[in-house]
Amino acid sequence: MRLALVAYGILNAVLYASLLPLWEGFDEPFHYAYVQELSERHTLPRLGKAPISDEVWASLDIAPASPSVKANLPQVTTYEDYFRMPPGERARTRARLDRLPRGYAASVGLNYEAHQAPLAYLLLAVADRLWSSLSLPARIWRLRLVCGVFASAVTAFFLFLLARRLHLSHRLEGPLVFTVLSSQMFYATTAHVSNDWLALPLMVALFDRLAAIVESPTVRNAVLLAVALVAGLLAKAYFLALLPIAVCVVVGLAWKKALPWRGTACFVGLTLAGAGPWYLRNLLLYRNLSGMQETNGGANWHGIAAAFTRVPWLASLKEMLFASLWTGNNSFWRFSFITLSMLALGYLAALVAYAFRSIAHGKPPARELVVWSGCAMYAVSLLYSATVSFWFSNGVSTTASPWYIEPLIPVLLSVLFCGLARAGAPGASIGAWFVCWSAYIITATYWAKLIPLYAGYSEGRTTLVRLLPWYHRNFPALLADPSATAMLRPGPVLALAAAVAASAIALAVVLSKRLFQPNREAS
């Protein structure tokens, strides 16, 4: 079953990377510009000075994009306007993208992602150099495959480890991983060129190491915790939010003399030596630790504190909740409010079950408490991010970006499922609820949302009554369309979508049945 779940995640990643039009991933052209500067110029970019290559800048004039992208880049053609073109003109537009010359002559544009931590981009730069002879769309598709497949397989691997670390029963281990790998936002976050593909699995790995050192405070576990933390800090600055909890755990264990002094010394030394130079660079260049462009030149703490009191928190928290469950890429579409509410009810029910069982049976074990503490620290950082966005945008933005929230979801679900394991039949029912709704949402994500959106469906809200006639009229043309916005031809994309739907339904049936059977070892 574990191999089947990993294969399911990889299948989703391949489909998502192939269906997503060029630059439809969150901030993807600017993330790729970072990769390209490393692979072509062999230098680290610097915020305010790093250019966009002519190749990328020219592609923004050609590739269709969403209205939200057009608001920032007026030169782009929206999907609606693209599909108003005659088929021949669309085919010529698609061919122009394939013929763009590779090169790094600096354009007029600057890269606003140049402040990001470098590890994920360094790894992608190696692959980008190997595929330098390919066209731009072919390069991006292959890099997406690297990102999405790695994130799916490695996140699943560390989730299995974390589930075992938390003593989660095998009956709930599969539903946990299936729920995570059936999240649209998981692939929207990881299956495009960015640094999130590495940061997300590292987040799960870090929590696994926190739980491990609490249960077994050895020098080895201190070293592995430091390695996970350093890798995370070099992949994404939001790992700074978890630095205090990691330090507190190590210092607390050393204070109790549970952790040998060598373990503490190794943790401190590796963390400072591994991540210290990068964050010192941020302080010197940008006068802030994270390198955030919003606080470039130093944070206005008085203004940020004042902004915190003005954020409309009820609306902001609601938006962050639903955006974390489903956000339609750079088009920022939303899924059905009712459907997402049903999934959110699962989270609420799981939290209630966890709290009830904790009250009935006493304080949860230390391994779970450290996970809750880390989740709380990260949640505070999301509130800070929302506040900074509100302050920086003068009230236009009121939330943290949804791809910042996604790394918390697998970890939060892991500890919530521990409560389901102790809740008997009600816990099994809630687990089945997660499985069934997740299978439905991931199937509808492709067939009811993304395929129609990227194939020219322009009737706004989608319903089954409207979609069936649309598919009936357009399916033969979809299969033969050489100007489709997807990275692959429509035939393979539709075949992958059918395979994902069949896999999701089959796995949901098997996992739901297992939830109500006596606990047994996983195959």
List, in order, residues 6 or more apart from 179 with CB less than 8 Å away.
413, 434, 435, 438
pLDDT in tens, 160-216: 999 999 999 889 999 999 999 999 999 999 999 999 999 999 999 999 999 999 999
Task: Round to whole Å and give the CA distance between 303 and 305.
Answer: 5
Residue by residue, DSSP assigns 393-449 as TTTS--S--HHHHTTHHHHHHHHHHHHHHTSHHHHHHHHHHHHHHHHHHHHHIIIII
Can you give the length of the chain in residues?
Answer: 523
Instruction: Note the pLDDT of residue 315.
Output: 95
Task: Please check the confidence at residue 480 and state whether its pLDDT lies above 70.
Answer: no
Closest CA to 170 of 443, 522, 523, 484: 522
List, in order, residues 6 or more apart from 63 with CB less than 8 Å away.
21, 22, 23, 76, 77, 97
* Average pLDDT, integer, range 414-442: 94
Instruction: Note the pLDDT of residue 107.
Output: 63
Span of 16-30, 62-76, 146-160 with lowest mean pLDDT: 62-76
CA of 195: how far to CAs of 32, 127, 286, 416, 503, in Å?
A: 10, 14, 20, 27, 28
Task: Round to whole Å and give the CA distance between 228 and 40.
Answer: 29
pLDDT band at 523, cuts 50/70/90?
very low
Task: Please check the confidence at residue 368 and state whether its pLDDT lies above 50.
Answer: yes
Span of 26-35, 167-176, 451-460 with lowest mean pLDDT: 451-460
Q: Residue 20 in contact with residue 191, Cβ under 8 Å?
A: yes
pLDDT in tens, 230-271: 999 999 999 999 999 999 999 999 999 999 999 999 999 999
Mean pLDDT of the chain: 91
The residue assigned the tokens 């999701």 is: 504
